Structure 1
């Protein structure tokens, strides 16, 4: 398991509700992939039969049953004591068996995850699909994408939010898919080398290693393009917040000016007011430049 933890990556096109279910159930998906099948959901039993013997009731009844058995076994009704003992043991074993099964209330959820996992098999990837190096690269891509999608400049429409919502998940899936394939090939290659390579095979191994390195470099280049885009968006985000704070301060200026005039210190206000206005203009220009740079970086992502 890689040190850098990544979550379940789901392909674009999977319904959002199903995608959320898969992302939230990585441990179940690992078990399902290993061959585990949750019990089918039984038909709803009638109300009386749904109540089994509780653990607390069994514990409370044990001393009473043992005392009664001791009395019966020491009396002419000894066979009845053996019957009572056998019945009690049967109930205890039944309770133990039921405790080892998947709880009834959990079966519909586990079964639902299982059915969606089978339905969308091949359209999601698990953390175990990535080796340590791949997980680190995927983590970089996910952080860059999160920076963009969670930004205020994206939510406020200063970026192309609709295209971001489509292109960035596609980029994440394609990067994750390639990294999973790269991880599998690297694992096979390392296993081959661990067994020892004959001199005749060494000439073939070297080009394969170059192919793995070139493929990794190409994926990393995609991630770096995402990171450049995210850096432009982060700059625009900082300018956006700074501009908002400046605008808030400008809105308060009349109250400060009024206070200065009433106190006879109004001559001190002119330079500060002018500087505040200049700062606001500079931040406005910075924000426009940052957003423009982000758009350029986005066009580069589209290829």
Structure 2
């Protein structure tokens, strides 16, 4: 089950970053933001200038020859101190990884266009998992990859269905949690009269999402049936292509002639499977129509 479901309208590269940055998204949900990049403060700037002057003075003295020892001493002391100043300035305030900072800069624009698994309550997670299993059944099927179904529309419609289901379940989970918290504190009779129909509205909304998921599952079941027929069809065709070799072997070896009628039935089975495949693909396309309001 995917931990992050992304609005299909998000550009592909950013959508991939969203899917790979679940931990950063969770921190952002809790209000985290990376510290601003540190700049050289006035105090540090003056320190750098002072140490630079010391190093330069030491270098000049060293070149003069008379006080070479003093100059080298200043040089040896000044260079490490400057390095410490710069390294300390470049060190982050905390140990936040640079990847998280870059991810934050991209992801902060997409609030509301992704759903985390943590956004869903247990009931909603189960529904989303069912929807995703159904979608995987369709997208992994050879009948889809080989174009027997409307693979182009599937590529558009199925991610849109997954996103819509995840989005609705996130809203439902949030409202349901708030409703339960309010009710758990105890209600006056007047408020109970209002809370009860609101609870029914939540149940009705869940039933509506469930209907979407069940429609996806019916479509997936039809696709699975078409997939079985498609696989059997290919297997029969392979055997049928070698039928003459079987017949030739039986004739040459004087084997049991009763095997020949069994071999002949392969051709009949292939024809029946061809018809079954057409029926199952047709049924899958009809089931698709229930998912796509724009279908004719």
TM-score grouping bracket, smaller chain normalisation: 0.7 to 0.9
Change over 3 Å in CA distance of 1:8–1:153 after alignment to 2: same
Asked if structure 1 preserves the Cα contact closer than 8 Å seen for 2:247 and 2:260, the reply is no
- 1:160 alignment partner, one of 145, 150, 164: 150
Does 2:25 match 1:29? Answer: yes
Query: What residue is the counterpart of 1:298 in the other structure?
Result: 288
Q: Which residue of 2 aligns with 1:214?
A: 204
Contact 2:38 2:92 in 1 (8 A): no
Q: Give how far 1:186 is off.
A: 0.3
Q: Kindly tell me: are residues 196 and 126 of structure 1, through their superposed partners in 2, closer, same or farther at Cα, counting changes over 3 Å?
A: same
Shift of 1:266: 6.8
Q: Aligned partners of 2:240, 2:38: CA distance in 1, in Å?
A: 67
Q: Using a 3 Å threshold, how does the CA distance of structure 1 residues 295 and 41 change in structure 2: closer, same or farther?
A: farther
- Determine the C-alpha separation between the residues in 2 that align with 1:288 and 1:18: 40
Find the aligned partners of 1:288 and 1:266 in 2 and give their Cα distance.
Answer: 36
Task: Give yes or no for the alignment of 1:173 onto 2:167.
Answer: no
User: How many residues end up aligned between the 2 structures?
Assistant: 248
Shift in Å, 1:99:
11
| Residues 262, 99 of structure 1: alpha-carbon distance in 2 compared, 3 angstrom cutoff | farther
Taking the TM superposition and a 5 Å limit, the aligned residue runs for 1:105-120 are 106-107=97-98, 109-120=99-110
Deviates more, 1:125-134 or 1:15-24: 15-24
* Map of 1:11 onto structure 2: 7
Inter-partner Cα distance in structure 2 for 1:38 and 1:206: 44
Cα distance in 1, alignment partners of residues 227 and 161 from structure 2? 22
Q: Distance in 2 between matches of 1:116 and 1:122?
A: 14
Q: Which residue of 2 aligns with 1:246?
A: 236
* CA shift digits 1:74-94 (9 cap, x unpaired): xxxxxxxxxxxxx9xx9xxx7
Query: Deviation digits for residues 119-161 of structure 1, max 9, x if unmatched?
Result: 2221111111100001111111111111111111001000001
- Partners of 1:164 and 1:42 lie apart in 2 by 49
Separation of aligned partners in 2, 1:201 and 1:121: 33
3-state secondary structure, aligned to 2:257: helix
CA deviations on 1:50-81 (whole Å, 9 max, x unpaired) are xxxxxxxxxxxxxxxxxxxxxxxxxxxxxxxx
TM-score normalized by the length of structure 2:
0.77
Assess, with a 3 A threshold, how the Cα gap between structure 1 residues 286 and 241 changes in structure 2: closer, same or farther. same
* Normalised TM-score (structure 1): 0.76
The 3 A distance-change label for structure 1 pair 171 and 98 is closer
Displaced runs of 4 or more, over 4 A: 39-43, 97-100
Q: Which runs of 5+ in 1 are unaligned?
A: 44-86
Query: Is the Cα–Cα contact under 8 Å of residues 229 and 297 in structure 1 kept in the other structure?
Result: yes
Shift of 1:40: 6.1
Q: 1:131 aligns with which of 121, 124, 149?
A: 121
SS at match of 1:9: strand
| CA radius of gyration, larger in | 2
Structure 2 matches for 1:1-303, cutoff 5 A?
6-38=2-34, 101-102=95-96, 106-107=97-98, 109-265=99-255, 267-303=257-293
Aligned to 1:49: none
Contact 1:40/1:111 (CA < 8 Å) preserved in 2? no
